[in-house]
Every structure is written in C-alpha cells, then in structure tokens.
Structure 1
Amino acid sequence: MFDQEARLERLLARHPDAVVVETAPGRPALIRRDQLLVADHDAAAAHDLVRRWHDSSRVEHGVASLRLRAPARVDVCELAARLGGDGRHRRLSVAPNHLVYGQPMWWSGPAEPPRPAEPVPAPEAAAARREVTVAVLDTGLSPHPWYEDADWFAEQPAEDAEVLDADLDFELDAQAGHGTFIAGVVLRYAPSARLRAHRVIGGDGVGDELEVIRALGRLAAWGRADVVNLSIGCHTFDDRPSPLLARAVAALGRRTVVVACAGNSAGDRPFWPAALKPVVAVAALDAGGDDRAWFSNYGWWVDACAPGVDIASSYVRFDGPRPGPGGVDPDAFEGYATWSGTSFAAPAVAGRIAGLAAAEGVGAVDAADRLLDPASGRTLPDLGVVVGA
C-alpha cells in the first residue's frame, strides 16, 4: 500500500492539474481538474449551460474541450453527470477529461520496472499477401535495429518520438520505452506490418482522454489503419464508458480492429477503452500461459487473453546512474528488455490479427473473427479466448 500511495503522490506532483475523484467508495478515478469534454455537436448547448463558469474552449477532431474557471470550484464529475443525464440514455455527450495510463504499473499493478535483457533475435520477414498497418498509441517510438531501416519508420513525425527523461533527473522515466517495447511485440507476430506510432502518454505513463481522442481522430482522417493497439486506459468516475472516447473509436470505421489492454488492477471493474463493445479487451496470462497473471483484470467484458509475464522485446538504449551490484547494472539498457503487464498481452493479440491478415490476404476484421472464435479455441472464464505465444 505504501508503494501504491507513493506512486500516486509522485504522479500528482508531476501533474498538478490532476485530481483523484471517488464518487463511489473504493472506486477511484483520475481526471484533469476544471476540464470538461463535449462532443462538437453538443458544444453550443453545453456552453450555454456552463456559461457562468466558462473560461475558454477549443474544438478539434470532433470534441470540444471546455476549461472552467478554477475559483468557481466546479465539481466536473457532478456537472458531467447532470449534463449527460442519470438515466440509461445520455442527453449530451459529455465527460470529464480522464487521465489514461500505461499498464505495466499502476496502483495495484505490477511493481517491477523493465529489466535489461540480452539481444532478442529480430523477427524474420514473412511472406505477405497484403500490406497491413498497425497503429500504436502510446509513449512514442525510438529507433531500434529491428525496424530503423524500414520506410515506415522514416515516415514517423519527430513529435512522436519517445522522451526518455522528461524530468531531467538522469534516470529513465518509469514507462519510457513502453511504446518501443509494444512495437516489438507486434512485429514478433506480424513482421511484415507497417507501424504508425502516435505519442499520447508521456514517459511517466500518463496522458489523458483528450490526447487519445485527438490521435484517434487523426487516424480516422488518415483512414489506413487496419489494427489499432491501445495498451493504455483508465477507470471512469461513474464506471460508464466515456461517450467521447466511444465516439472516437467508432469513427475509425468497421474495417479497423481496435485492441486494448484490460488493465492491471487485479479486479473486474471495467477498464476503458478495453471494455467498449467494439474493442477487443485483452487480459494477461501467467508465465506458464495456463492461468490469469496475478495482476491482470478480468470480467465479462474481457474478450481474449495472452501471455503477459516476463515478455522480451525491443527497448530503448539508456544507462542510468545506479551502480551495478555484483557486476550487474540494473538500469543499463542496450535495446532489449523483459517486462510484465496486460500492456504486452494486448499487442500479442494485435500482432496475431495483423499477421494473419497479411499472410492470408484478408481484412483485419475477418482475421480477428477467426483468431478469436471461441468455437475453435480454448476459453477461460472471465478471460475470453486464449491466444497462445
């Protein structure tokens, strides 16, 4: 508990506009203080209703971000519930700006950071009958021998590169390299895939719903993503899906498969966006691949599970200041690591879908239907279809 509280204190110190809300005992969520997200078609109506507290607005990719005046001390969760309606059907599409976070580490998630590993053989090129693109919304992407000569990597914008030490303390940020690691997991199962990275969380593993919606909006406008991997997520203040995030996922269209991690809270509380109906929610199996990893979420809303303990993949190069006891340096990374979390089970499923689509020349949706068909595979209660290594 002390470690969990210490991590939360560090997060709040690094993000002073973040606040913990707990509308129901034992069900906390994190939001940006004084921020409200509204669908663009509801923005005018919402603005009229919050006029007395309104400070500024910005509309982008179908969502309006309303900033409320801090001195007004508005409870944005209560306001969102009132504007959205308490019944089964919402009146306005509105939500607080929830924080989202990567899933190696969180309050009750795995406490272990990534560990340096020996080089892992590069994925071998595979014959492909069609080109498949996998979008990875995460911490960004660093160069790596597995893909740094690929044409798709040369097309990555500079703003989507990994930031390894944002606080300049000479130590690797807690989840820096998360996106690079996930890219490697995808390529292990789909070596011919083209990747498209979008940085939506920082090296500390923290971002917000607005940044995810913006990235999804850019992908929808681009229109060429076959599979989208989201190894990020959050609990919402009311345990209902954010209508803004649901709308952004739907805008990708029916030919895009969205895969998301189920989260590392070791419970069945819905974790979003994984728990959205159109999204493939992926839990983590233990090292043996036979049962749930102790940290993994589970529940009726989980669709699949894959190994998520001591996964080896591509990583960043970084040498931190800690000394190496017994000749072993715990923070010297040479491009490879092992890590645990549902974050790394999700791209295994995303990669398997992309790999099958490329090899068979079928659409991503058809590939997902085949891979995740419970009639032809093993299933586990509250974990869905087992997708092996």
Structure 2
Amino acid sequence: MFDQEARLERLLARHDDVAMVEPLPGRPALIRRDQILVAERDASAAEDLVRRWHDSRHDEDGVTRLRLRARSKVDVCELSTELAGAGRHRRLSVSPNHLVHGQPMWWSGPADLPRPAGPVPAPRADGPRRDVTVAVLDTGLSPHPWYEDAAWYREQGDEAAEVLDADLDFELDAQAGHGTFVAGVLLRHAPAAVLRARRVIGGDGVGDEAGVVGALTRLAARGGADVVNLSIGCHTFDDRPTPVLARAVAALGRGTVVVACAGNTAGDRPFWPAALKPVIAVGALDALGEDRAWFSNYGWWVDACAPGVDIVSAFARFDGPRPRVRGIDPDRFDGFATWSGTSFAAPAVAGRIAGLAASEGLTTVEAADRILDPADRPTLPDLGVIIRS
C-alpha cells in the first residue's frame, strides 16, 4: 500500500491551487481553491450572488468557472451549498471544482505501479456487423503497434497525445501510459472499435471536474459516442453527485453507454461519476476472478465487476534511468505492461459491451442489457454482475 500521506503532500506541492477539504469527518475531498463551477443556464444568477467575492468569470464548454478573490477566504464548499439552496433539493447547479484522478492513484488510481511485460499478440477483428465508437477520457494515447496504423488513430490530434515525462526528471510520470493501457484493454474485448481519445488528466493522474465536463460537452456536440469509458473519478465534499457533471453525462443521451471505474479506496463511499444513476460502475475482482480485489470499492452503487489484478495490456514505450537488477531493467517499457486497479476493470466491461454490439449488430444499450443481465450471470453482493474475461 502506498503511503497516502506522502502522496498527498507531493500532490499538494505540485498543485499549489489545490486544497484538501473535509466537511464530513473522515471523508476528505480535493478541490481547486477559490473556484466554483456552475451550469451554463445558472451562471448569471450565481455570478450575481457571489459578486462581493467575485474575481473573474470564465465560460467554458458546458460549464462556467467562477473565480473568487483569494483574500476573501471564502469556503467554496459552504458557498456552493448556500447557492444551491436550502434542503436536499438544489435549485442551482453549483459545485466546487473537484480534482479527479486516474485509478492507480491516491484515493483512486491503480493499486500499484506498472511493471514491464512481454509482448502480447494484437487483437484481431472478425468482420464486425456495425461500427462502434468508444470515447476514452484519460491521459491520452501513445503510439502502439496495436493501433498506430488505424485510421482512427491517425485522426487523433496533438491534444490527445500522452505526455510521459512532464516534469522532465527522466522518470515516467506516475500515471503516464494510463490511457494507452485502458485503450489496450478495450481493444482486447472490442478489436474493431473506433477509439476517440480525450486527454482530461495529466501523466501525474490529476485533472479536474471542469476538464471532464468540457470534454463530455465537446463529445456530445460532435455526435457523441456509442460507449464512453471513464477510468477516472473523485469523492465529493458532500458525498453527493455534482449537478454540473451529472448534466454533462445526461447530455450524451440515452443511446450512449457510460462506464466508469468504482475507485481503489477499498470502501463503500460513493465515487463519482461511477455512482451516477446512468453510469455503469465497475469494481475489480481478485487475481482468481472469484472475489473482490482488496483495493476495490464496493457498495449499492456498483453495477458490475471484472478482473482488475495483474492485467496485461498495451503501454507506452519508455526507458528510465534505473539500472538493471538481476539482468532485468525495472523501468524499460517496450510497449506492454502489467498493472492493477479498477481503472482496468472498467474498460473490460466497456469493451465487452462494444464488442458484442459490433459483432451482433446491436445498439450498445441492448448489448449492455444482455451483458449485465443478472438472470444470466452470477453476482456478488455490493459488486454486482460478475463479468469474467
């Protein structure tokens, strides 16, 4: 188990605009300081209400970011609650700007670090009956033999490329390669899928809610996707779904299946966006595929589980500075790795849905209903339907 306090200290040192808040004792969350997010339709009303502390307004895709003056020392969690309205029913869609993480990370990420692995044969597509598009909101994609000659990969812009060593320390960043690994898991189950990569977290595994909402909004505006995979997430300050993110997911429409990882905190605290009603939340099974992986979240809100321990998949190419140990180079990756986490259980389910839809000409909603039907598959309490490879 990683030293979570040390990991938090490093994160806060790198991101000086981030603060840890804990309105609910024992249930911390991470937010951007002095920022609140507001749904577009509520932006003007919210701006009027915060005028005394207001510094600037930034209208972005699907969301407005209101910045408050730091010297005002406003508690953005308390302010968001007041702006939303008294009681459990919220009148305005307002939220602090929560940090989101990939799922081998503090409070979320994979349960371990990636380890070099030997090559794996490329998945083979057997004449799909229909095209299926899968959006991957993650760290982006690195070139890989499995897909670098595919038309969909050549169409990816620079904004979708992974950054492997952002701090230029010659070490692979903590979650660099995460998006490529997720894409590999998807393609193993749906080799004919067309992937659309969107970079919403950095190689350190950190992004924010505003970035995810913006990516979802742009995706919806450009025709959406059949399946969306979100191997990212966060806890919120009040353990309720943020209305801004919920609106962005809803805007994708009923024809899009959204799959998200349940998180790696080994608890039942809701993890968002996985715990949203329209989203398929996926926990991780252990190495035997029989019980919950020790790190996996669980609870009433988890819909399915899939293998998440020692998964082998595509990875970035990278050679770090560490010396060989007993003839093995511990930080040289030649395009494949072994990794663990709910991050990699989620694309297994998303890939199964996309693969079935492509091979049998179904809508992805129909495919999801078949794959997640508890009448045809075994279930585990607080982990939902078991989906084995």
Structure 1 stretches of 4+ moved >6 Å: none
Q: Deviations over 1:124-146 (max 9, x none)?
A: 12220000000000000011000
Aligned to 2:75: 75
Aligned to 2:230: 230
Structure 2 residue 257 is matched with structure 1 residue 257: yes
Aligned to 1:90: 90
How is 1:188-267 mapped onto 2 (pairs within 5 angstroms)? 188-267=188-267
* Residue type at the aligned position of 1:150: A
Q: Deviations over 1:235-265 (max 9, x none)?
A: 0000000000000000000100000000000
* Alpha-carbon shift at residue 25 of structure 1 (Å): 1.1
Secondary structure of 2:265's aligned partner: coil
Secondary structure of 1:91's aligned partner: coil
Give the 3 Å change call, closer, same or farther, for CA 75–258 of structure 1 in structure 2. Answer: same
Runs of 5+ unmatched residues, structure 1? none
Aligned identity (percent) is 78
Q: Does the aligned pair in 2 maintain the 1:5–1:107 contact within 8 Å?
A: no
Q: Deviations over 1:23-51 (max 9, x none)?
A: 01110000000000001111111111100
**Equivalents in 1 of 2:264, 2:30: separation in Å?**
16
Q: Does the aligned pair in 1 maintain the 2:125–2:192 contact within 8 Å?
A: yes
* Residue type at the aligned position of 2:328: V
* Alpha-carbon shift at residue 108 of structure 1 (Å): 7.6
Secondary structure of 1:213's aligned partner: helix
**Equivalents in 1 of 2:105, 2:126: separation in Å?**
33
Q: Deviations over 1:102-131 (max 9, x none)?
A: 011224865521000000111012220000
Q: Does the aligned pair in 1 maintain the 2:58–2:64 contact within 8 Å?
A: yes
Q: Does the aligned pair in 1 maintain the 2:315–2:336 contact within 8 Å?
A: yes
Q: Does the aligned pair in 2 maintain the 1:317–1:334 contact within 8 Å?
A: yes
**Equivalents in 1 of 2:110, 2:215: separation in Å?**
27
Aligned residues: 389
Aligned to 2:34: 34
Aligned to 1:137: 137
**Equivalents in 2 of 1:118, 1:162: separation in Å?**
21
Aligned to 2:342: 342
* Alpha-carbon shift at residue 179 of structure 1 (Å): 0.1
* Residue type at the aligned position of 1:186: L
Q: Does the aligned pair in 1 maintain the 2:101–2:109 contact within 8 Å?
A: no
Aligned to 2:44: 44
TM-score by length of 1: 0.98
* Between 341-350 and 122-131, the greater mean CA deviation after superposition: 122-131
* Alpha-carbon shift at residue 63 of structure 1 (Å): 1.1
* Alpha-carbon shift at residue 159 of structure 1 (Å): 1.2
* Alpha-carbon shift at residue 224 of structure 1 (Å): 3.8
CA-atom RMSD, angstroms?
1.1
**Equivalents in 2 of 1:273, 1:68: separation in Å?**
26
Q: Deviations over 1:80-122 (max 9, x none)?
A: 0111124221011000000000011224865521000000111
Give the 3 Å change call, closer, same or farther, for CA 178–2 of structure 1 in structure 2. Answer: closer
**Equivalents in 1 of 2:188, 2:68: separation in Å?**
46
Q: Does the aligned pair in 2 maintain the 1:285–1:292 contact within 8 Å?
A: yes
**Equivalents in 1 of 2:303, 2:58: separation in Å?**
36
Aligned to 2:56: 56
* Residue type at the aligned position of 1:301: W
* Residue type at the aligned position of 1:142: S
**Equivalents in 2 of 1:2, 1:24: separation in Å?**
24
Runs of 5+ unmatched residues, structure 2? none
Aligned to 2:124: 124
Give the 3 Å change call, closer, same or farther, for CA 111–261 of structure 1 in structure 2. Answer: closer
Q: Does the aligned pair in 2 maintain the 1:32–1:98 contact within 8 Å?
A: yes
Secondary structure of 2:3's aligned partner: helix
Q: Does the aligned pair in 2 maintain the 1:109–1:266 contact within 8 Å?
A: no
Structure 2 residue 124 is matched with structure 1 residue 112: no
* Residue type at the aligned position of 1:105: M
**Equivalents in 1 of 2:277, 2:148: separation in Å?**
35
**Equivalents in 1 of 2:233, 2:109: separation in Å?**
13
Secondary structure of 1:7's aligned partner: helix
Aligned to 2:288: 288
**Equivalents in 2 of 1:172, 1:198: separation in Å?**
20
Aligned to 2:100: 100
**Equivalents in 2 of 1:140, 1:40: separation in Å?**
27
TM-score by length of 2: 0.98
* Residue type at the aligned position of 2:134: V
Secondary structure of 1:327's aligned partner: coil
